[in-house]
Structure 1
Amino acid sequence: MSDYTPAATGTGARARVQRFGAFLAGMVMPNLGAFIAFGIVTTLFIPTGWINLIAHWGGLPADKTLPITDQIGSIVGPLITILIPILIAYTGGKNVHGHRGGVVGAVALIGAMLAPVALQLVAIPLNGEEVSAPKSIAEIGPTILAAFVLGPLAALVMKWWDNFISGKVRGGFEMLVDNFSAGIVGAVFAVLGLYVVGPITFWITQGLGWLANALVNAGLLPLVSIVVEPAKVLFLNNAINHGVFTPLGIEQAGAGAGHSIFFMIESNPGPGLGILTAMLLFGPRAIRPTVPAAMVVHFLGGIHEIYFPYVLMKPILIVAAIVGGATGVLWETIFGLGLVGPASPGSIIAWVAVSPPTQIPLIVAGVIISAAVTFIVGALLLGFGRKESATDAAIDLEAAQEKTAQNKAESKNQPAAGSAA
């Protein structure tokens, strides 16, 4: 478990959910630096990033990008689709069985990562558009959901095997057995990931997209947050956004409206800001120092993935995200708001940049309202920090009692003053 993810305490269903969330967060939080690196590169160097935006202000044609941003921006995709899932799978395996567990967990993920390409899995056509199977790894999305499964699972089997053969291997053969057993376990789980876990997680993603699309077609737009927010926390946000909302948004904006609410549903930075603010003020003290940087990367940089680990750490906060997201969608529906195009990345700056000028005040107000609602609900669910303070106080008291006992024992072992000859 990461030092940044305090262990959940108590018993009952809620404690079990919290422990499960802490376990998932323990795979992500140690890799937060990779998410920040992804956020920095994305914010600065994608075609709609800051560098090109400044260049456009300086006279670069709107349909052009700087060559250096194209070169550096080419690492954005591999960072989120390859590196970060592998890091999470490795960390999950390491948390279960040390370095050996991490290695087999990372190897296992490769199979699931390539399943859509190798098995030619075709996405569900949600809005009548033509879809085809991905032709290369460059066309797949992040496989972080599979990493959550395969990393710990492969490591657990590796741990069972190591415990089974402990003390039974003849001297001189330990390294041979260790290396080959790790290779065999990694290979078996890579194949399992290719044929089982990869397709399952692929169709889970497709199913969530279908459900979101069904709610939209039923006219229950605010209820879409019930699907979108949990899916985002499981890193399925890009699949739903690009598979459902972007096509619908393009169709609506091109039908004469000139803007679309569908561009706003997944990319609203308000709920994430509310979650991070609640964690900053009322979350576990051990992780509060990490929150300010995450707030900047999320709200100004538009990288929503940065706040997902905090929700995984406290799964109850998904309720706050749903309520805040639904509030934002309701506000946008009441006033007929929309963006003229996809906000990429989903920052407040990108939102303002693609907002109809006459709607900017109401759009910004909607972001603030959704953030405020998320924060209030999140603060209530966190007990305004009282539970964390009580836990910290109990830990401090226990540490003080141990220190007192240690000092008392040491004093008994020392000779009394003046007793030396």
Structure 2
Amino acid sequence: MSQNTATADKPKTSLKAKVQKFGTFLSGMIMPNIAAIIAWGLVTALFLNPGGWFPSPTFIKLSAPMLSYLLPLLIGYTGGKMVDDERGGIVGGIATIGAVVGSSVPMFLGAMIMGPLGGWCMKKIDDMFQAKIKSGFEMIYNNFSAGILGMLLAMLAQVVVGPFVDAGTNFMASGVDWIISIHALPLANLFIEPAKILFLNNAIGNGILVPLGIQTASKVGKSVLFLLESNPGPGIGVLLAFCFFGKGSAKSSAPGAAIIQFFGGIHEIYFPYIMMKPSLFLAVMAGGVSGTFTFQLLDAGLKAAASPGSIIAVLLMTPKGSYVGVIAGVLVAAIVSFLISAFILKRDKSDPDADDFAGQQAAVQEMKAESKGQTNTASTSTLDYKDVQKVIFACDAGMGSSAMGASLLRDKFKKAGLENVPVTNMAVRNLKDEPGLLVVTQKELSERAQQKAPHAIDVSVDNFMNSPRYDEIVANLKVASQEKIDDGVQPTTQAVNATPASDVAEINFDLVAEIDFIHHDQHTGSATMATSLLKEQLAKAGKKTTVKRVSIDDVADETDRLVISTPETIKNLKSRYTNVQALAVADLQDKKLSEVVKNVK
């Protein structure tokens, strides 16, 4: 009986959340390296000899090494780092070079396999052996374990993974060529456009289409695959239809959304308009199909990925001679999407008040909360906003829409006198469960956000640009601030106590349960040595405080953590975390470390 109850109480992850998580992991390896992909595309577009804007036999020599070595190694390093920080990234990069050597095609898919595999293997080996290493031998273990593992994985990749991915890539490329040859590629948009609106846009674009597009572009100089997901035409068509035929706040907000979507490339901004009227799925699907058909008909393509999906980025990545085809495809997609959207909106006879955009957002969120037996986190008074110390906007990639929403809320906080509550943005996969956290995310990503930070106050919105939830958050925080004053507590007390310190006198040693030395880039060895030395000093003094070496990205933002590093790193730390305590030291001989040993438990 109890076992069944426990099983029933265990939260289950929906299939959609699992697909989003996997897709986000794939795109997470590509997204940080988009700049490098764009650099390669620009080099090729400008200096290709012949065919470039400024043909140059000297500068075009950069193209092949960037494609064959730089990009796969960056992707492999990023994939390993996502699993196990810098050590995982290094091993992932080493493993990737084996796949590169063992293949005759650009090894992007191999990098997306070997990078995470290298990080995972490194993490498992560290879990087994790192705690057993004697003091003073940490650096030897760290260097040789990563080197040996990287060598073995590189050999495995060269012999097995490289040839396997080579064959698989050629098979997929042949399949894509066949689909293009029978003019069936436009049908892909029947799946791509709805999947985008379910927040799988980054997974599809960066996780699937970009790697395949690079393979094609490396052979023929351009690829239409870069345009399938990034085409801004279908989205701008829907938004323009709302500008002319929409109702309520949906109509009033559409012009601003259209500018941001078309020129800023943030496609997520038009998703709520379609979710409000599901029949508009037909508009974007038809726009996507007609746009891709036009691209294919006019032999259009891009040199490299256009990220974000802005018309500016699309034109910058357009090779010489393809501008007519690219612009025509975007225009056709926009016109078709606009006409179908206009037809649907004009035939809509619903009550204008019931069609109000903000009202629909609130109603949908309320119904969703009731269906799950939950209370609406943004509109109820049962949640204690007194404990909120940080607000995080989380989106799929952590770059576009969430940054825009965070900026809007920061402005509202400033006007309301709530500057002491920091507002930041990040990818939903990087959320951490921490006290005093309020998370704002799109409703389609709410489930994943709750899994990553189950104890945070969760506020789900339909649109980061225009949501009534923001005013409710401000109102609740102001009420909580006034209640603190009425209770005799200064509203900024928590924030002041949680502000990272840089001096020993400012540290509350009664709270310190763990000391973390930051390691990153060239400071890895110093952090390892500092960790070892402090462990010895604490052991001699009979102290039991835990000492660890961590990455700045893995710092737990809690008051019981004392982070020690260089002044430059501590300055960076303070800009990212609000609760953790911090101490800046000049070197390993700094007298502050002796003071730490004296004061900790």
Please give the range of the TM-score, normalised by the shorter of the 2 chains: 0.5 to 0.7
Deviation readout 1:101-135 (Å, 9 max, x if unpaired): 11101111001111125xxxxxxxxxxxxxxxxxx
Q: Distance in 2 between matches of 1:88 and 1:195?
A: 20
Q: Distance in 1 between matches of 2:94 and 2:155?
A: 10
Give the counterpart letter for 1:88 in structure 2.
I
Question: Which of residues 47, 57, 64 is equivalent to 1:77?
Answer: 64
Q: Distance in 2 between matches of 1:199 and 1:292?
A: 41
Q: How far did 1:160 drift? A: 1.2
Identity of aligned residues (%): 31
Question: Which of residues 203, 227, 231 is equivalent to 2:167?
Answer: 203
Question: Which of residues 10, 30, 33 is equivalent to 2:32?
Answer: 30
* TM-score with structure 1 setting the length: 0.56
Does residue 332 of structure 2 align to residue 369 of structure 1? Answer: yes
Deviation readout 1:218-249 (Å, 9 max, x if unpaired): 67564577899879625122434676xx6xxx
- Relative to structure 1, the CA distance from residue 410 to residue 94 in structure 2 (aligned partners, 3 Å threshold; closer, same or farther) is farther
- Relative to structure 1, the CA distance from residue 171 to residue 329 in structure 2 (aligned partners, 3 Å threshold; closer, same or farther) is closer
Deviation readout 1:339-359 (Å, 9 max, x if unpaired): 5xx86737669678369xxxx
Question: Which of residues 247, 258, 272 is equivalent to 2:230?
Answer: 272
Q: How far did 1:289 drift? A: 8.8
Q: Distance in 2 between matches of 1:276 and 1:184?
A: 50
Q: Note the aligned Cα RMSD (angstroms).
A: 5.0
Q: Distance in 2 between matches of 1:195 and 1:331?
A: 42
Q: Counterpart of 2:428? A: none
Give the counterpart letter for 2:333 in structure 1.
S
Q: Counterpart of 1:237? A: 213
CA contact (8 A) 1:145 1:235 kept: yes
Give the counterpart letter for 2:331 in structure 1.
I
Aligned residues: 306
Give the counterpart letter for 2:58 in structure 1.
Q
Question: Which of residues 157, 166, 175 is equivalent to 1:193?
Answer: 157
Q: Counterpart of 2:377? A: none
CA contact (8 A) 1:87 1:106 kept: yes
Q: Counterpart of 1:390? A: 461
- Relative to structure 1, the CA distance from residue 165 to residue 363 in structure 2 (aligned partners, 3 Å threshold; closer, same or farther) is closer
Deviation readout 1:362-397 (Å, 9 max, x if unpaired): 8853442236668999xxxxx999747717677997
Q: Distance in 1 between matches of 2:27 and 2:226?
A: 23
CA contact (8 A) 2:47 2:59 kept: yes
- Relative to structure 1, the CA distance from residue 12 to residue 376 in structure 2 (aligned partners, 3 Å threshold; closer, same or farther) is farther
Q: How far did 1:98 drift? A: 1.1
Does residue 139 of structure 2 align to residue 175 of structure 1? Answer: yes
Q: How far did 1:152 drift? A: 1.4
Q: Counterpart of 1:327? A: 290
Question: Which of residues 149, 174, 193 is equivalent to 2:113?
Answer: 149
Give the counterpart letter for 1:105 in structure 2.
G
Q: Distance in 1 between matches of 2:285 and 2:87?
A: 38
- Relative to structure 1, the CA distance from residue 267 to residue 216 in structure 2 (aligned partners, 3 Å threshold; closer, same or farther) is closer
SS at match of 1:75: helix
Flag the structure with higher helix content. Answer: 1
Q: Counterpart of 1:105? A: 92
SS at match of 1:70: coil
Q: Distance in 2 between matches of 1:151 and 1:106?
A: 6
Question: Which of residues 164, 178, 182 is equivalent to 2:128?
Answer: 164
SS at match of 1:171: coil
Q: Distance in 1 between matches of 2:486 and 2:336?
A: 54
CA contact (8 A) 1:111 1:194 kept: yes
Q: Counterpart of 1:136? A: none
Give the counterpart letter for 2:155 in structure 1.
V
CA contact (8 A) 2:231 2:330 kept: no
CA contact (8 A) 1:275 1:320 kept: no
Q: How far did 1:156 drift? A: 1.1
* TM-score with structure 2 setting the length: 0.41
CA contact (8 A) 1:42 1:49 kept: no
Q: Counterpart of 2:15? A: 13
Q: How far did 1:206 drift? A: 1.4
CA contact (8 A) 2:234 2:284 kept: no
Q: How far did 1:44 drift? A: 2.7
Give the counterpart letter for 2:17 in structure 1.
A
SS at match of 2:103: helix
- Relative to structure 1, the CA distance from residue 78 to residue 408 in structure 2 (aligned partners, 3 Å threshold; closer, same or farther) is farther
Q: Distance in 2 between matches of 1:375 and 1:105?
A: 46
Give the counterpart letter for 2:209 in structure 1.
V
Give the counterpart letter for 1:175 in structure 2.
M
Deviation readout 1:276-301 (Å, 9 max, x if unpaired): 967xx99xxxxx99995779xxxxxx
CA contact (8 A) 1:274 1:375 kept: no
Q: Distance in 1 between matches of 2:162 and 2:228?
A: 32
- Relative to structure 1, the CA distance from residue 398 to residue 162 in structure 2 (aligned partners, 3 Å threshold; closer, same or farther) is farther
Give the counterpart letter for 2:332 in structure 1.
I
Deviation readout 1:47-69 (Å, 9 max, x if unpaired): 367642xxxxxxxxxxxx4xxx3
- Relative to structure 1, the CA distance from residue 202 to residue 387 in structure 2 (aligned partners, 3 Å threshold; closer, same or farther) is same
- Relative to structure 1, the CA distance from residue 12 to residue 363 in structure 2 (aligned partners, 3 Å threshold; closer, same or farther) is closer
CA contact (8 A) 1:222 1:330 kept: yes
Unaligned 5+ segments in structure 2 are 1-11, 193-203, 240-252, 254-258, 268-281, 305-313, 341-359, 362-400, 402-441, 445-459, 491-601
Name which one, 1 or 2, has greater alpha-carbon Rg: 2
Give the counterpart letter for 2:290 in structure 1.
T
Q: Counterpart of 2:590? A: none
Q: Distance in 2 between matches of 1:410 and 1:180?
A: 60
CA contact (8 A) 1:273 1:371 kept: no
Unaligned 5+ segments in structure 1 are 1-9, 53-64, 118-139, 247-262, 283-287, 296-306, 308-318, 378-382, 415-421
- Relative to structure 1, the CA distance from residue 411 to residue 160 in structure 2 (aligned partners, 3 Å threshold; closer, same or farther) is farther
CA contact (8 A) 1:111 1:190 kept: yes
Deviation readout 1:151-188 (Å, 9 max, x if unpaired): 11111111111111232112222211111111121112
- Relative to structure 1, the CA distance from residue 409 to residue 159 in structure 2 (aligned partners, 3 Å threshold; closer, same or farther) is farther
Give the counterpart letter for 1:370 in structure 2.
A
CA contact (8 A) 1:108 1:150 kept: yes
Using CA pairs under 8 Å that are at least 6 residues apart, name the structure with larger relative contact order, 1 or 2. 1
